[in-house]
Structure 1
Amino acid sequence: MLHKTRGIVISYIRYRETSIIVKIYTEKFGIQSFIENGVRSSKGKNRIALFQPLSLLDMVVYHDEKKDLHRISEIKSSFPFRTLPYEIHKSSIGMFLDEILNKTLKEHTENELLFDFLYHSLIFLDETDEHYENFHLIFLLKYAFFLGFSPQDSSEIVSQFKEFNAMIPFDADYQKLMNQLILADYQTPLLMSRGVRNHLLEVIIVFYQIHFEEFGEIKSLQVLREVLS
Structure 2
Amino acid sequence: MLVKTRGIVLNFIKYRETSIITRIYTEELGLQTYIVNSIRQKSNTTRIALFQPFTLLDMVVYTSAKGGITRISEYKCNYPFSSIPYDIRKSSMLLFLSEMLSFTVKEEEENRDLFNFLHNAIIAFDQQEQHFENFHLIFLLQLSSYLGFGPTSGADVTSQIAFSGSQNLINGRPAVIHFQMYEDLFDNLINDPTATLITNGKVRREMLQIIIWYYQLHMDSLGEIRSLKVLSEVLAE
2:204 to 197, 200, 207: 197
Structure 2 CA distance for partners of 1:45 and 1:81, relative to 1, 3 Å:
closer
Aligned residue for 2:182?
A: 174
Partners of 1:33 and 1:69 within 8 A in 2: yes
Aligned residue for 2:220?
A: 213
Partners of 2:11 and 2:53 within 8 A in 1: yes
Q: Does 1:228 align with 2:235?
A: yes
**Equivalent-residue separation in structure 2 for 1:217 and 1:144 (angstroms):** 18
Partners of 2:31 and 2:105 within 8 A in 1: yes
- CA deviations on 1:32-76 (whole Å, 9 max, x unpaired) are 011111111256698111111211000011111313111111110
Partners of 2:189 and 2:196 within 8 A in 1: no
Where do 5+ consecutive residues of structure 1 fail to align?
Answer: none
- CA deviations on 1:100-121 (whole Å, 9 max, x unpaired) are 1111110100000100111111
Shift of 1:189: 4.5
The answer to which structure has the higher helix fraction is 2
Partners of 1:31 and 1:108 within 8 A in 2: yes
Query: Secondary structure of 1:32's match?
Result: strand
Q: Does 1:13 align with 2:13?
A: yes
Shift of 1:183: 1.1
Structure 2 CA distance for partners of 1:127 and 1:57, relative to 1, 3 Å:
same
Q: Does 1:183 align with 2:224?
A: no
Structure 2 CA distance for partners of 1:151 and 1:12, relative to 1, 3 Å:
same
**Equivalent-residue separation in structure 1 for 2:44 and 2:199 (angstroms):** 48
**Equivalent-residue separation in structure 1 for 2:152 and 2:179 (angstroms):** 17
**Equivalent-residue separation in structure 1 for 2:78 and 2:155 (angstroms):** 40
Aligned residue for 1:125?
A: 125
Structure 2 CA distance for partners of 1:144 and 1:2, relative to 1, 3 Å:
same
Query: Secondary structure of 2:131's match?
Result: coil
Q: Does 1:101 align with 2:101?
A: yes
Count of aligned positions:
228
Aligned residue for 2:73?
A: 73
Q: Does 1:112 align with 2:112?
A: yes
Query: Secondary structure of 2:117's match?
Result: helix
Partners of 1:37 and 1:44 within 8 A in 2: no
Partners of 1:39 and 1:46 within 8 A in 2: no
Larger displacement relative to structure 2 (20-29 or 153-162): 153-162
Larger displacement relative to structure 2 (52-61 or 39-48): 39-48
**Equivalent-residue separation in structure 2 for 1:43 and 1:130 (angstroms):** 36
Query: Secondary structure of 1:85's match?
Result: helix
Q: TM-score, normalising length from structure 1?
A: 0.93
Shift of 1:21: 1.2
**Equivalent-residue separation in structure 2 for 1:32 and 1:228 (angstroms):** 31
AA paired with 2:222?
A: F
Where do 5+ consecutive residues of structure 2 fail to align?
Answer: none
Partners of 1:59 and 1:75 within 8 A in 2: yes
Query: Secondary structure of 2:229's match?
Result: helix
AA paired with 1:41?
A: Q
**Equivalent-residue separation in structure 2 for 1:129 and 1:5 (angstroms):** 29
